[in-house]
Amino acid sequence: MLPCTQKIKDLKWKPKGIILSGSPYSVYAPDAPHVDPDVFQVGVPVLGICYGLQEIARSHGGNVEAHSHREYGYAKIHVEKTGHGHADKLFEGIEMDEEGGMQVWMSHGDQLTSLPPHFITIASTPTSPYTAIAHESEQIYGVQFHPEVSHSPKGKEVIGAFVRNVCGISGGWSMDSFIPKEIARIREICGEKGRVIGAVSGGVDSTVAAKLMHEAIGDRFHAFMVDNGVLRKDEAQKVHKMLTVDLGVNLTVIDASELFLSRLKGVEDPERKRKIIGNTFIEVFEAEALKLENAAEKELDEKGGEAKGKIEWLLQGTLYPDVIESISFKGPSATIKTHHNVGGLLEDMKLKLIEPLRELFKDEVRALGRLLNIPAHLVGRHPFPGPGLAIRILGEVTREQISILQHADDIYIEEIRAAGLYDQISQAFVALLPVKAVGVAGDARTYDQVVALRAVSTEDFMTADWFVFPPQVLKKISSRITNEVSLFFSFFS
């Protein structure tokens, strides 16, 4: 994966195909990033997605303008048979509905208003006449929709058609082949004695990363769970059992809640919360690494024997969506939010990062976890952010606010599980809002805080759709939170 500004002449290898991704920019903006023109001269197939399509059009003499309204969400495209053999390959072998259509996901504010010379239309919608285009004689394609997200149900087939039908690539990579290669890479990085400490939260990302590291270097990996004071109810105890008993990982739980909460006092901005928590995490880890090294040296002095390796590495379960959302090259993405394990790290951090999952998406990590024989209930856990409940409390983080949110969130998840919905939902959580609402309880007026329930469905955690709850389940959750959460009455969903 390279920035779109990459110069083709600087590559030391020739690609078999090039995909130009989406971008938050407008191709006609003064500061818009533009692709190296040699991309179209290198003699390999090119596929542009959203901004990529618009950049192809701009580069070849087409016209792109602001749409009258932002087009975001589901759309149905109509695929057109052109009679140009190579042009039809992009949708070749993909089954359409009875009307010759296919559901896709749109997300754009600009659109192509006129075709460049020598390009033809291969798919359209009523509001987007040039939804997919192709060059008449060259293997250059563009799609306005996003085939890379799970909300385009046959999007992977479109990308697969480009990779296989157009580029002629076999696509032989599999997650089974990832494990031995990554274990070999970890062992090469760490050497025979190098030791690694790792941040674990009990979430699927850090759990899979910890298991993979344990498989690679055994007890030279030491996992730490930091209780930052903003974890879910009884989370530290549950994770300790899960990782030590179920997975055999060397784990220490550190209670640093007082330190974290003291630094979060008075802070309301979510970005500042993320930065504070990310920086404090690293400080705690470096302190624990020093304690481990000192203990190892003391043991060596007292008992003799071979010296243990130096702790040089910090394992993190960073995924590619974390990278995309946290780091903005000029073009590929906007900075959506800082992740504590990407943009919240200390600049002078002494430990070096090792991130075996950095180029994987959530669905791939779950597949990896299953191959590593991690129990299904662990692999299927909903994601939990590193900054924890601190960013689900809108406003200042206090022990009282944490207690309210922990209790409400515990009820929510418990009822979702009881209703058999947990595995149908990709992520569910409660947020505590900085507003109050009037209600009535026991014939008396109440004026208390409000919570919001969130539940979404997604595969790749790049796009999501809201989960359709059975009303009776929401009714029970509402009743329990209203009646059982201390100092709390009002409810919003």
Per-residue pLDDT tens over the stretch 322-337: 776 554 444 344 444 4
Residue 476 has pLDDT above 80, yes or no: yes
Question: Do 65 and 158 fall within a single domain?
Answer: yes
Strands 465-466 and 444-457: antiparallel
pLDDT single digits (tens) 130-164: 999 999 999 999 999 999 888 898 999 999 999 99
**Phi, psi (rounded to 5 degrees) for 4:** -65, -15
State CA 230 to chain mean position distance.
Answer: 21
201 known member of a binding site:
yes
Amino acid 307: pLDDT:
56
How many domains, the chain?
3
Question: Percent of the chain scored above 70 by pLDDT?
Answer: 89
Amino acid of residue 109:
G
CB atoms within 10 A of CB 417: 11
Question: Percent of the chain scored above 90 by pLDDT?
Answer: 49
Give yes or no for a contact between 186 and 354, defined as CB atoms under 8 angstroms apart. yes
Give yes or no for a contact between 195 and 308, defined as CB atoms under 8 angstroms apart. yes
Q: Is residue 491 part of a domain?
A: no
Amino acid 115: pLDDT:
93
pLDDT band at 304 (very low <50, low <70, confident <90, very high): low
Question: Do 281 and 135 fall within a single domain?
Answer: no
> In sequence order, what are the beta bridge partners of 453?
430
Give 274's Cβ-side CA count (13 Å radius): 17
The predicted model gives 348-353 an average pLDDT of 75
Q: Is residue 390 part of a domain?
A: no
Of residues 274, 396, 383, the one with CA closest to residue 337: 274
Question: Do 147 and 252 fall within a single domain?
Answer: no
Amino acid 331: pLDDT:
39
Residue 283 has pLDDT above 60, yes or no: yes
| Cα distance from N-terminal residue to C-terminal residue, the chain | 40
pLDDT band at 70 (very low <50, low <70, confident <90, very high): confident
Amino acid 493: pLDDT:
40
| pTM listed for this prediction | 0.69
- Domain containing residue 22: CATH number: 3.40.50.880
Residue 72 has pLDDT above 90, yes or no: no
Question: Do 110 and 209 fall within a single domain?
Answer: no
pLDDT band at 280 (very low <50, low <70, confident <90, very high): very high
307 burial (CB, 10 Å; 0-12 / 13-18 / 19+) is exposed
203 known member of a binding site:
yes
User: What domain range is 157 assigned to?
Assistant: 8-166
Q: Is residue 489 part of a domain?
A: no
Can you give the three-state secondary structure of 396-448, one letter per residue? CCCHHHHHHHHHHHHHHHHHHHHCCCHHHCCEEEEEEEEEEEEEEECCEEEEE
Q: Is residue 385 part of a domain?
A: no
**Six-digit token string for 242:** 């899960």
Question: Do 260 and 337 fall within a single domain?
Answer: yes
DSSP state of 244: I
Of 319, 350, 380, which one is at a domain's C-terminal end? 380
202 known member of a binding site:
yes
pLDDT single digits (tens) 162-214: 999 999 998 778 888 899 999 999 999 999 888 898 888 888 898 999 999 99
Q: Is residue 393 part of a domain?
A: no
User: Which stretch of 32-46, 175-189, 345-359 has the lowest confidence by average pLDDT?
Assistant: 345-359
Q: How far apart are CA 492 and CA 198, in angstroms?
A: 38
Q: Is residue 16 part of a domain?
A: yes
User: Which stretch of 95-104, 295-304, 337-346, 475-484 has the lowest confidence by average pLDDT?
Assistant: 337-346
Amino acid 489: pLDDT:
43
Q: How far apart are CA 23 and CA 415, in angstroms?
A: 39
Question: Do 348 and 376 fall within a single domain?
Answer: yes
Of 139, 166, 193, which one is at a domain's C-terminal end? 166
The rounded radius of gyration (Å) of the Cα atoms in the chain is 26
Residue 420 has pLDDT above 60, yes or no: yes
State CA 76 to chain mean position distance.
Answer: 26
Q: Which residue has the higher pLDDT, 247 or 324?
A: 247
219 known member of a binding site:
no
Residue 458 has pLDDT above 90, yes or no: no
248 known member of a binding site:
no
DSSP state of 194: -
> In sequence order, what are the beta bridge partners of 457?
465
Q: How far apart are CA 203 and CA 426, in angstroms?
A: 13
DSSP string, 75-100: EEEEE---S-TTGGGGGTTPPP-TTS
Of residues 355, 275, 361, the one with CA closest to residue 316: 355
Question: Do 225 and 159 fall within a single domain?
Answer: no
pLDDT mean across residues, the chain: 86
3-state secondary structure of 104: strand
Give yes or no for a contact between 358 and 319, defined as CB atoms under 8 angstroms apart. yes
Amino acid 282: pLDDT:
83
Amino acid 491: pLDDT:
42
Amino acid 339: pLDDT:
42
Amino acid 474: pLDDT:
95
CB atoms within 10 A of CB 8: 17
Q: How far apart are CA 148 and CA 103, in angstroms?
A: 13
Q: Is residue 114 part of a domain?
A: yes
State CA 474 to chain mean position distance.
Answer: 27
The predicted model gives 12-24 an average pLDDT of 91
> In sequence order, what are the beta bridge partners of 413?
none
Question: Do 299 and 331 fall within a single domain?
Answer: yes
Question: Do 299 and 192 fall within a single domain?
Answer: yes
Residue 338 has pLDDT above 50, yes or no: no
Give yes or no for a contact between 400 and 487, defined as CB atoms under 8 angstroms apart. yes
485 known member of a binding site:
no
Q: Which residue has the higher pLDDT, 443 or 136?
A: 136
Question: Do 233 and 320 fall within a single domain?
Answer: yes
Residues belonging to the active site? 50, 146, 148
Q: How far apart are CA 485 and CA 468, in angstroms?
A: 25
- Domain containing residue 352: CATH number: 3.40.50.620
Of 380, 412, 436, which one is at a domain's C-terminal end? 380
